[in-house]
Amino acid sequence: MPNFAANLSMLWQELDPYQRFEAAAEAGFTHIEMLFPHELNPDRLEFILHRLGLTMVLFNPAAGNWAGGERGLLSLPGREVEFIRAMRDAIQLALRIGTTKLNTLVGVPPAGVTDEDAEAMVIANLLRVAPLAQEAGITLLVEAINNIDMPGYWASNVATAAHLVESVHHPSVRLQLDQYHAVMANEDPIACLHAHMPLVAHVQIADVPGRHEPGTGSQPIGEFLKDLDRAGYEGYVGLEYRPLVDTPTSLRWLRTYTTRLR
C-alpha cells in the first residue's frame, strides 16, 4: 500500500499550526503536507521539522490574495512578476526544509479572460519557472479542484490539469491527483489514475460526501489505493480531509491497511 502523509492544514484544526506537527509525530507520521508554510516562521518551522524527524513532502506556494478570493496565480494575466517571485520564495523554502514537490495552484481567472487566454497563461508561467524547479530538484504539480468547492477554478477536472501538464511537456511539471476533487467533478478517480498514471506525482484522498475520512461516505477509496499500488505508485498519499469527529478518531481507518504511517 502507498505511504501516507498527514495534511496539517486539514487535520488537528483545533491546535495551532506548530502543535499540529507535534500531534502528527505522536500519531506515528514521519511525512506531512500543508498549504502555505510561508505564513509560518521559517526558523521555527525548520527547527520543529528537524526535532520531530518530519519531512514535508508537499506544500503550496503563495497563491495571491487568498482572503480576497484569489486561489492561485498561474492563470492570472498581469501577475507574472508576482508569480515568479512567489515561486522563487517557495523554492528557497523548499530547499531549506527538504520539500521536493510544490502544488502550483491554477487559480480563478478574472472576468474577461477567455479559456484560451487562461490556458496560454498557465503554460507560459509554468515554462518560466520549470527550469528553476528542475535546477533545485523540485517537481511542480498541477491539481484539478472542483468548481463546487472552489467556484471558477479554471482547472476544474483532471482531464484539464493533465492536458496542461502534457502541454508544458517538462520533466519537472507533473500532475497532482486528488481523488476527492475528481469525484466532485463527476470523474471516476480510478479511471483518471489509469488514464494519467505516467503524469501522477502526488495523490490526495477524502471521502464523498462531506470531505471526511475514508469510510464516512460512499467512495471505494480502498480500491483506489489498491490500484495505486498495482500501478506501481511510489509517492505519498496526502490525507487531505476534514475529520468527521476528531483527528485521532479519523485515523482509525488506517488500521485496516497493512502499511506504516509515513
Interval 87-111 mean pLDDT: 98
Give CA–CA dist 169/208, Å, rounded.
32
- Please tell me the total count of domains within the chain: 1
How many percent of the chain have pLDDT more than 70? 97
- DSSP code string of 194-246: HHHGGGEEEEEE--TTTS-STTSSS--HHHHHHHHHHTT--SEEEE----SS-
Does 261 reside within a domain? no
Does residue 99 fall inside a structural domain? Answer: yes
Residue with cell 535546477: 135
Each residue of 116-159: pLDDT tens digit? 999 999 999 999 999 999 999 999 999 999 999 999 999 999 99
Q: What's the pLDDT at 1? A: 54
Q: Can you state the angle between helices 189-196 and 158-168, rounded to 10 degrees? A: 10
**Residue 240 known to be catalytic:** yes
170 vs 256, higher pLDDT: 170
pLDDT band for position 193 (cuts 50, 70, 90): very high
pTM of this structure = 0.95
Cα 38 to the center of its chain, rounded Å: 15
Could you confirm whether 143 is annotated as catalytic? yes
Residue 257's pLDDT band (cuts 50, 70, 90): low
Catalytic pick among 33, 119, 187, 240: 240
What is the C-alpha separation between 182 and 156, in angstroms, rounded?
9
**Catalytic one among 33, 119, 143, 213?**
143
* Residues 25-31, mean pLDDT to the nearest whole number: 95
**Structural domain of residue 76, as residue ranges?**
3-256
177, 193 in Cβ contact below 8 A? yes
In this prediction, residue 260 carries a pLDDT of: 44
* pLDDT at position 64: 94
> What is the Cα 247 distance to its own chain's centre?
19
In this structure, is residue 262 part of a structural domain? no
Stretch 211-234: mean pLDDT: 95
pLDDT of residue 256: 73
CATH code at position 53 = 3.20.20.150
